[in-house]
Amino acid sequence: MGRQYKVAVVGATGAVGETMLSILAERQFPIRELVALASARSAGAMVAFGDDEVMVRDLADFDPAGVDIALFSAGGAISKEYAPKFAAAGAVVIDNSSAFRQDDDVPLVVAEVNPEAARQRPRGIIANPNCSTMQMLVALAPIHREAGIERINVATYQSVSGAGRSALEELGRQTASLLSFQGAEPERFPVQIAFNLIPHIDEFMDNGFTREEMKLVWETRKILGDESIQVNPTAVRVPVFYGHAEAVHVETREKISAARARELLEAAPGVEVVDERAGGGYPTPVTHASGNDAVFVGRIREDLSHPRGLDLWVVADNIRKGAALNAVQVAELVVGEG
C-alpha cells in the first residue's frame, strides 16, 4: 500500500462539500484520516463518506497541524481567513472559492487543461476555477492547442445549484407555488426564477458586466496562459436544478473544420461528444450532465458568419465537474508528485 493522507474537507455540509466526500470515496483517494469541517452550527452533524459516516467538526476550533490536503468549499471569506492557516501548517489547500484565483502566486488549475501548473504553489494554495470557466475550457483547450483561439463569445445558462442550497429551495418552492396558482415571491434571487431567465449572476461591475461574466475573461486567460484571448460573456441564471450549459462561439487563429474539432474533442480527456443532427442528439443538463463527471459537447458546427469560427454547445454538472471533481482531481495530481 502506498502513502495515505490526512484529508480535510472544509464546508463539508454544503452541496459541493458533500459531493467532494462522495467523489473521494468513489475514486478511492488514499485517505488515512478524513476530517469533515464546517461552522459551529453544523458541528456534531453526520455526513456520508462512502459506506461510513463522519462527524462534522467546528472549523474555528480545529488545529490544522498534520493535515496533508485540505479541500475548501465554504465561501471566499472563510477561505481567506483559514486557507493560509492550513497552508502554514503544511497542508496543500485546494480552494473552490474566488478568493485566490487572480493571485499571481496561486495556480488556477483545470486537471485536463493545465495540470502542470499545480506543481508550482509557493503559498501552498491551488485555486479551483469558476464552474462556468471550468467546463468551457475542458472543451476549448484541445481546439486552442491545435489552432489557437483569438476570441470567445459565450452565453451561459447556469443552474440554480450554482447559487447554493437556498437557491435550489427557492426554485422548488416557487415552482410548486406557481403550479398551485399561487404567487412566487423572490428571496434568494432579485426576481422570480421559476419559469424565468435572469441575466444577472453575481454583482454588476463598472463596465456593465457582472463579476460572474468577468471571471470567464480573467480565468480563461490565466488558465490558457494567453492574455491576448478576447472573451465576450453573458451569464444567465435558468430554472434548472443541476447542470450548466453554454453556447460557445470561438474564432481561431488558424482555420479548423468542424470535423477536425470533433476528432479533437472525441480524443480529449474528460470530454464526451454527443453530436447527432437529430432530436435528442445533443447534451442537456438533465439528460446527460446531471450526476455525471464528463463535460459534454454537441452542436459542433462552423460559424456561418466568420471564416475561422466554430460553434459548440457545452454542458456539465456544475457541482461535480464544475467544483468537487476537479478539486479531487487536483488533489490526485498533488499526491502523484511523489
Angstrom distance (rounded) from CA 93 to CA 335: 12
Active-site pick, 244, 249, 288, 306? 244
The DSSP H or E segment spanning 134 is: helix 131-147
The closest alpha carbon to 295, from 109, 71, 145, 112, belongs to 112
The closest alpha carbon to 202, from 216, 192, 221, 181, belongs to 216
Residue 306: active-site member: no
226, 186 in Cβ contact below 8 A?
no
Residue 244: active-site member: yes
Alpha-carbon 206 to chain mean position? 25
Q: What share of the chain is helix, strand, coil (3-state, %, to 5)?
A: 35, 25, 40
Catalytically annotated residues: 131, 244
